[in-house]
Structure 1
Amino acid sequence: MDLLKGFISYTKQEQLFTTDQQILLAVSGGVDSVVMAHLFKEAGFRFTIAHCNFQLRGEESERDAAFVTALADKLGVMLHTVRFDTAVYADSNRVSIQVAARELRYGWLENIRRQSGSAFIATAHHMQDNVETVLMNLCKGTGIAGLHGILPKQGHIIRPLLFTQKEQLLAYATEYSTGFAEDSSNITVKYTRNFFRHKVIPVMQEIYPAVTANIAGSIDRFREAEELYEEALQRHKKRLVEQKGNTIMIPVLKLQKTRPLHTVAWEIFKDYGCSSAQLPQVLELLNSGSGKLVETASHRIIRDRQWLLIIPVEVQDAAVIVIEKERTFVPVTNGQLKIREAERTPATVIPTSSNIACLDKQEIHYPLVLRKWRQGDYFYPLGMRKKKKLSRFFIDQKLSLPQKEKVWVLESGKRIVWIAGMRIDDRFRITDNTTRMLVLEWEEK
């Protein structure tokens, strides 16, 4: 296939850009990006060139920068350049040189894209790059998303050479004497990609000479299969996932009957910090009792009766908040407490809302203490003469584990006077002798 015709056909097939849009080409000076620049010129597309000097290969880096400068001049297009202290960046950010170069490169390219009014950034990834990516993903362990390899278009990044092989790019460079700057780091096998390129794929080619093209063909089918996969997955998520506030709720029985269970469960729970190693623990919750949980990097997955609840791990409030007499407002993570005094007269109407507590001011002693409830806590529920443990009270109220963890209690003289938003202690209730009230209002967020 004529490379230029294939190039133009591929950009149309994948709808990478329109002919009136300007494209920013990432050009290193290597054969792939140099040929890409020439193809853009021959096709009559609008483009500018961008080159990053990572200052990692001494004179080679300077040679590459000079070559790209001459190339831009030859093609008659604008050139954007930058020099990075890549080693310093990697050290200060505690990342590898490869990660540092990638972060610096794409961050800068995106800034130039915006400033120059370019529609997309074009990189010169070709068919072999794509095959190497898929093989590496398979070795690391991947879901179906890892099998689509490098996408032709992703956000503001396009890859217009994925249709062609390295040999075709080299042949083009030879035929048209484009010249290019060879990167000596491409030869070493200390980098994973180069190991696959120089050691793994050549062995595969001994048995299957067309292995690169064959895998590339499979990648195209994987991309289409992924579309079907995503459609089915969205139907499962719509059926299984409910959201109330910041809590995700999944019905246990429905999930148990779902097939394929592991695949659907993985696609749901991985979005909430669940690792592949934790997935079996999460699935064990389907057969456990209420209160069992798995904590991921960002969430807790809790079995609560007939539900699995997924709740973000929040920054905890102070264990104990001391409230002096002058204080009238106390904000916490999941709510706020308002405090005021009021006169009690025969005409006073006591609110019936559980979020408002009216206590006998004479029985209250400062400072008050607002804290989360603890195992062993007890109080005398309003209307009862016997004490009751809060844990038993919560069971009677049918509170879930997440609801229990949000409960605050207010103490006076080491005695619980109110379970915020729920029930006051009978010892502090309003009586016929009450003349002053302490009015508490709990607003839950």
Structure 2
Amino acid sequence: MLPTDRFLSYISQHNLFGHADRLLLGVSGGKDSVLLAHLLYASGYQFGIAHCNFCLRDEESNGDEVFTRELASQLNVPFHSIRFDTPAYASSNQISIQMAARELRYAWFEQVRQEHGYHYIAVAQHKSDATETILLNLIRGTGIAGLHGILPRRDRILRPLLFLTAEEIDAIVSNSSISYREDSSNASIKYARNKIRHEVIPKMKQLNEDLDLTFEENSRRFLQVEIFLNQEVEKLRNKFFHHTSVDTIEIDVDLLADLNPRDLLLYELLKPYQFNETTIQDLVSVWRTQSGKIFESKSHVLLLDRSTLILKKRSSAESPEIAILKDTKNFEWNGMKYTISRVTPEELRFSGDGKIAYLNADLLQFPLNLRLWNKGDYFHPLGMTGKKNISDFFIGQKLNRFGKAEIGILENGNGDILWVVGYRSDNRYRVTSDTQNIFIIETSE
């Protein structure tokens, strides 16, 4: 007898979906997903079956595909299938076969969901899977998020079978005479999850026969702790993180140093920017002594600038050099807009704004070149007769490494630097009483 009442109660309890929703059900052919298909059918829900053939077990994989196709026909529901060259994908992406299968499966499920108008994707993970997941996370190392196991809903992925244990599923399938396919790889202990399933959990159940129930109760508590922690961390992030531009955040080191518990909260604050615990420990060890040090994650860069941390998103690519022709009037470079005009001395309306450079147009050699700063660059700052290394000029302006890396250098056709954009033009190309034609270039965001 199918546990339809418990099934419907679980769906209602977690508000997973309604009878108006269409579900795309991932079915491997194993007992878990086949049981879920029968439960959905018996409960009158609208669904289609999606099957992935990962081509890992030769004829056994092909047999699974035939079986699931026949199941869809028996239940009179739509059927979708695909074949993957899983080993090739794993090799090209340098990931395990298991991870490759997971990425391929969920990406295709979402594609089918969108193309065929399904509201959600349903998968057949159960209560015992959740126990295994928590143990795996603990073994591999996890933050608190890894302790709540598998959630009934994550975005459009639903898990309506989490109310059953593996033992309960075995009994239901057997008593209901439901046909299914047995995956021979499930018996192999070369995979970490199978080793936990076949060797670790049985021994733990000798100590606690209600292990799955205990883990379910613990994971519910951990989820509540995680929700509370995330709320508190978000309050701290709003208080400590100051956005100085679209992609730049400044954080006062002294405020972080006073956090308690510091390591946990600092990790949670920086986790969205993909910094790991090792990098954060390195940061803490030097944040009073090594100003100028940079820490990197996959997505962001963190600069320790005296008593301030400056957080920036990684640049996808350096701004290229751009040629400025004699007739150029407007252009964009490195996120800034540039406007060029030419006036006579009578038309000149001088402003002391560093975002505007006034140059003797008759001394310019086109095309001009706008680029990023290079080590060894020098110019003659306006108002000075001698030259100055731009690196020294930056020090005088108290620019950090991020600031230096973004400043434009306007270069004459002969190689002379005309303008450190936004700061100072070159004295050799200044406008004097003898200047007849004036070249004006200015920036705006």
The question of a shared fold, defined as TM-score above 0.5 by the shorter chain, is answered with yes
- Worse overlay, 105-114 or 240-249: 105-114
Structure 1 SS opposite 2:304 = strand
- Worse overlay, 281-290 or 147-156: 281-290
Q: Distance in 2 between matches of 1:44 and 1:322?
A: 67
Pairwise CA distance, 1:129: 0.7
Structure 1 SS opposite 2:17 = coil
- Worse overlay, 260-269 or 358-367: 358-367
Q: Distance in 1 between matches of 2:407 and 2:63?
A: 67
TM-score (norm 1): 0.89
Pairwise CA distance, 1:102: 2.3
Q: Distance in 1 between matches of 2:295 and 2:87?
A: 40
| One-letter amino acid of the structure 1 residue matched with residue 142 of structure 2 | T
In structure 2, the residue matched to 1:117 is 117
Structure 2 SS opposite 1:352 = coil
- Worse overlay, 243-252 or 106-115: 106-115
Residues 375 and 256 of structure 1, relative CA distance in 2, 3 Å threshold: same
Q: Distance in 2 between matches of 1:48 and 1:437?
A: 71
Pairwise CA distance, 1:72: 3.2
In structure 1, the residue matched to 2:14 is 14
In structure 2, the residue matched to 1:245 is 246
1:30-429 matched pairs, under 5 angstroms? 30-91=30-91, 93-243=93-243, 244-288=245-289, 290-314=291-315, 315-318=317-320, 331-335=332-336, 337-339=338-340, 341-345=342-346, 348-365=348-365, 368-375=368-375, 377-412=377-412, 413-429=414-430
| One-letter amino acid of the structure 2 residue matched with residue 302 of structure 1 | L
Pairwise CA distance, 1:158: 0.8
Residues 217 and 382 of structure 1, relative CA distance in 2, 3 Å threshold: same
Pairwise CA distance, 1:151: 1.2
Pairwise CA distance, 1:277: 1.9
Residues 54 and 285 of structure 1, relative CA distance in 2, 3 Å threshold: same
In structure 1, the residue matched to 2:438 is 437
Answer whether contact 2:133 2:149 (CA < 8 A) is retained.
yes
Residues 167 and 303 of structure 1, relative CA distance in 2, 3 Å threshold: same
Q: Distance in 2 between matches of 1:47 and 1:415?
A: 70
Residues 359 and 219 of structure 1, relative CA distance in 2, 3 Å threshold: same
Q: Distance in 1 between matches of 2:123 and 2:83?
A: 19
Structure 2 SS opposite 1:278 = helix
- Worse overlay, 238-247 or 54-63: 54-63
Q: Distance in 2 between matches of 1:282 and 1:393?
A: 28
Structure 1 SS opposite 2:164 = coil
TM-score (norm 2): 0.89
Q: Distance in 1 between matches of 2:141 and 2:75?
A: 43
Pairwise CA distance, 1:145: 0.8
Q: Deviations over 1:291-327 (max 9, x none)?
A: 2322333322112243211112321234x66666566
Structure 2 SS opposite 1:23 = strand
Residues 56 and 405 of structure 1, relative CA distance in 2, 3 Å threshold: closer
Gaps of 5+ in 2: none
May I ask how many residue pairs the two structures share in their alignment? 442
Q: Deviations over 1:45-81 (max 9, x none)?
A: 3333333333332332233233333433443434333
Answer whether contact 1:23 1:122 (CA < 8 A) is retained.
yes
- The percent of aligned pairs where both chains have the same amino acid is 38
- Over aligned residues, Cα RMSD in angstroms? 2.8
Structure 1 SS opposite 2:124 = coil
Residues 353 and 12 of structure 1, relative CA distance in 2, 3 Å threshold: same
Structure 1 SS opposite 2:51 = strand
Answer whether contact 2:319 2:371 (CA < 8 A) is retained.
no
Answer whether contact 1:410 1:417 (CA < 8 A) is retained.
yes
Residues 149 and 324 of structure 1, relative CA distance in 2, 3 Å threshold: same
